[in-house]
Every structure is written in C-alpha cells, then in structure tokens.
Amino acid sequence: MIIDIHGHYTTAPKALEAWRNRQIAGIKSPAQMPRASELRISDDELCESIESNQLRLMRERGLDLTIFSPRASFMAHHIGDFQVSSTWAAICNELCYRVSRLFPDHFIPAAMLPQSPGVDPATCIPELVKCVEEYGNVAINLNPDPSGGHWESPPLPDRYWYPIYEKMVEYDIPAMIHVSTSCNPCFHTTGAHYLNADTTAFMQCLTSDLFKDFPTLRFIIPHGGGAVPYHWGRFRGLAQELKKPLLKDHLLNNIFFDTCVYHQPGIDLLTRVIPVDNILFASEMIGAVRGIDPETGYNYDDTRRYIAAAHVDPADRQKIFETNARRVYPRLDAALKTKGR
C-alpha cells in the first residue's frame, strides 16, 4: 500500500470559494455575512471534483490512500475574528469528511483548526474533538503563524500551545506543522513562507525541551523539512553548541519529514541525510507546484517516481510508502486494520 500523508482539498467546488468571498465581505458589512446553511454542495459535485482530479491522479500514479485536509492556503487564519475562523474551519472540515465517506477506500480526513491571531488556542479544542470523535480524523494541521507571515504568536514550545498538545497526546494524533497564506509582501506564500515556517518550526523545537513535557507528541514537518536536511550539519552543530542532546536523540523520536520535494536530487538528499524511519511519503498533489517538469516530462508533484528511483533498500522504501505512516498515525493504522488492510 502507498499512503500519501499530505493531501489538500484544492479542487473543491467553486461554490466553496464563492461562499468564502461572501464571508470575507461580511466582515466589513455584517448584513452580507452568509450563514453556513447557505452553502450547498451536493455529493455529486464532491464526487466530480475528486474523481476528475485527486482520485484520477492517485490511480495513474499507483497511490492507494490520501490523508486529506482542507486547502492550506484557504485556512487564512488572519482573516476576521475567531467566529469567522470557526465557521470556516467547520465548513472545510465537513467537506473533507464527506469526501472520506464517499471514497472510504481512498481518503481519510485530517482537520484544520479554527485558529485566530491572539486568541487562546484552547478555543480550537471543540472543533478538534468533533473532528476526531465524529469524523474519524487521524491528524490535525497546526498553523504556527496564524497572523499570516508576521509571526505574532509565541514559538511552538511555549506553554501557549499546550492545550492543543495535551489533546493531541490524549487522542494519540500527530500534527502537520503547516502555515497558510502569507499577507506579508516579503514572503511569497508557497515559495518562501511555507519553507521558512518548516525551518522555523524545527529550530524552535531544537532550542527547547518541549518533548520532555510531551514525550509522545509527534510533528510532521512538511515540504521535505524546508532547509533542514540541506543544512543538517548546521543544525547538528547548533544543537551541540546549545548543549542539547544529539539530534537523533533530541528530536527524531518526535519529528518527521514528508517527501513533498519536487526533484530527484532533493529526494536523494533527504533520504541520505534523514533516517528512513523519519520520512513519510507525501505529494501535496494538485497543490503548490503544478505542471510538468520539462527536464523529466513528468509532473513535479509525482513524488512516487522520486522515491522509486532513490537509492534506498526495498524494505526502507516500504517504510516510506506505508509503514512509517501507520506508526506515526496510530488512528490511521487502526482504521485500516478494521478494513482488513
């Protein structure tokens, strides 16, 4: 089985974006604020959006299952207040849940949280609980910068975030550390803000003792870990200077990296530098990088080809494709076992 841990609903029916535009307009003109019940998307529309896009490509590329969450750039936690974010998160999470019900063999949901700048993260707990207990979500996406590129929140190891971590540990679910749209003109959303945040999140954890307080807490750093694998020696050296344990003892029980790296040399580096037990297959399909690479003739986001071509043992390749995901996402493993998979 090949499990893609990084899928976003980037092809949702246009009615979702139209509703969101009305919601944003309603922030300044409350009379225009739509009710959630005014968004109507049929099962047929959901099926069409999936069958002609994500599911088609999964079949073409030989992928079996995708952990599916709302579109990352659409989270936009910096827009509006907590009520706006809460309504928007609930709508997006429900759509991913409906997709998982329509295609139970191919999609399983992960939740976005209704984060809002300056608002206590504990306010996210009801949505998290609903998504795990009612929707069967196996993970969450946690935005370390709800301000949209201005980094106004405390760093991840701060006790500010502990209410979410406590619930993650209780439910035994991991978090993908994933920012959303940048509204800071210095940082392009997908080319800079995403990768900067990946690197920043890792460094925040390196300089802290977070995992002493939460030894079973698990983070996935997406997009291949940003700059981390490329500068592994720098991070090892910084840990040494800061009198931290070796990285393999200090962080790699709790931090994992995905394979959303869109060229072969990048994947080759990732698989040489990072221990195989800490690499999980992912593609972020129909996401930040679309189109065909003129150097290879294949889509940039067809990451299965890169893993297949990487110089790793077959047993290690199986870890990347499946085994590691089952271990890092225990609720996913349990769900698959109930289906005999």
**Hey, which residues are catalytic here?**
284
Distance CA 282, CA 2 (A): 10
Residue 186 CA to chain centroid, in angstroms? 23
Phi and psi at 193, nearest 5°, equal -60, -45
199 and 175 Cβ atoms separated by less than 8 Å: no
What are the residues facing 66 on neighbouring strands?
4, 107
177 and 226 Cβ atoms separated by less than 8 Å: no
Buried b (16+ CB within 10 A) or exposed e, 172-208: ebbbbbbbbbbebeebebbeebbbbbbbbbbbbbbeb
Residue 289's nearest CA partner among 303, 305, 301 is 301
Place of tokens 């936690």: 77
**End-to-end Cα spacing for the chain:** 9
Residue type for position 116: S
